[in-house]
Structure 1
Amino acid sequence: MIVDTHLHLIYRDRLSYPWLSETPQLNADFTYETYAHEARRLGIAAALHMEVDVAEDSIEAESAVIEEIADGSDGVIVGAIASCRPESRDFPAYLERVRQNPFVRGFRRVLHVVPDDVSEGAVFRQNIARLAGTGLTFDLCVLPHQIDRAAALADLAPDVRFILDHCGVPDIKSSGYDAWKGPLAEIARRPNVTVKLSGIPAYGGENWTLEDMKPYFAHVADSFGFERMIWGSDWPVCTLGGGLSTWIGTTHALLSGVSLEDKARVLSENARGLWRLPV
């Protein structure tokens, strides 16, 4: 069984996605039906929807749309990670509304699309600290040079569980291992940070191979261990690096030397425990 902790769905007729106009490869509808047709065959039994950086005035609408879609997903979509704006003074009121909805399991604010110092603002940090005790997680989507800022957030909110998306976004295509390995190991020293094995096929070259991925995976495993690692498809972004089947095949190959217990942790058990998923 696989729990996909990073599924994106795109419905352009229902929500506004300003960034799509600059990303023609993804400027299309990516529906649950299309995802499920392939995902079920690959052993994905449950998924969390990850926010898709919708327009700010569509943030709460996105959660409502995904919850509606989840109702028709035969129990596959079991929750959502919602978009948010922690830099806003309106965040506390938004948080209280979200806490009334158990479908939302956490938040994400994509930080590599805003100035580096956004996460250093007092309001941002105070609002992230408000997540302590709520059971809501916070996904960190940062570039390697921003990982130190992500680590600072984890230090300032030790009772909040953070998820480092996409293994910290290494630049595999340009052989960016050395610029990434130190910051990755440093943030892994924070016990309240879990790493997400996701996204990396899109960062490889056009003809990336399993051998290209192995050193990055090995460093993530050495730094975090398998007790703090979860898996995500990053669908449909993964189609830029071969697609869902390719990524799952690569994942199984990377985990081929891992014990069955640790493999189960990465593919499902850690996610189930982290979010208390009903699967």
Structure 2
Amino acid sequence: MEITQEKVSTATASKSKIPKKRIALFFGIIFVLVFCLAPAMWQVLTSFKINEAIATVPNVYLPSLDQLTWEHYNNLFSRRPFLLYIFNSLFVAATATLIALATGAPAAYALARLRIPGEKFLVAIVLVVTLFPYVLLFLGLFEVVKALDLGNNYLALIIPYAGKNLPLTILVLRTFFQQLPKDLEDSAKIDGYNTVQMLLRIVLPMTIPALVTTGILAFIFAWNEFIFALTFVTEESMKTIPVATAQIGGSSIFEIPYGPIAAATVAGTIPLILMVLFFQRRIVQGLTAGAVKG
């Protein structure tokens, strides 16, 4: 009887005892979430704070209802054509992404499946171009834009964005194409398909998650790019969101408009969030493709 009571007490104690690893994991997750989300939440709160709450020392981390306002968003869309800036960014980023995918997919398929002389050398060049800082290309691109008279033209942004995203697109899609089984392509050759038909009707439909994932990366780069958009486009009606946000001014040269800048940042980030949520399943499939064999 005593032995049974000891076993019961031991089992109860083991159940009530929480493992230290689980506690450490829980606090670790909380820390990572706070560390990653705190700047974004601070930006959102700043966009809704009144100017007095923003300038208060010490900082107001949790503002009361009388310290919140929609004024920054109202001024953002009423005093400036911010919807036009969103359209400009959307048009430039989407066009550049489509061009990068349309040209990068055939190139990646050729490097993955066709026997091309100097294939490894070409892949090495693509890798080097991917790692090359695009800021160092600025002076050369500026001379090209000036020579072709592309200033204040969407092409002045679309072409550099597509060119910068092209090497990354080729490398990522080449990896996915190499993971596809060759049996389907061999069967398609027997049925009379040529290389272009196999790419369009068989290979690309099987790599839609990879195309979406690569397209999202290219789109985000084009959406957030600042230096080219600031230099190559100076007309107000053609500016993109990063440039328009950076040029928001206060009532005087000594005032930093934190509220309007925060509102513009949040408004410019919402389309990216919606796009990622819409393609969430495809992105996960693209990131995990090839991780499990079978």
Which category of TM-score, normalised to the shorter sequence, fits these structures? under 0.3
Give the structure with the higher percent strand: 1
Give the structure with the higher percent helix: 2
- Tell me the TM-score normalized by structure 1: 0.24
| Larger RCO, structure (CA 8 Å, separation 6 or more) | 2
The structure that has the greater radius of gyration is: 2
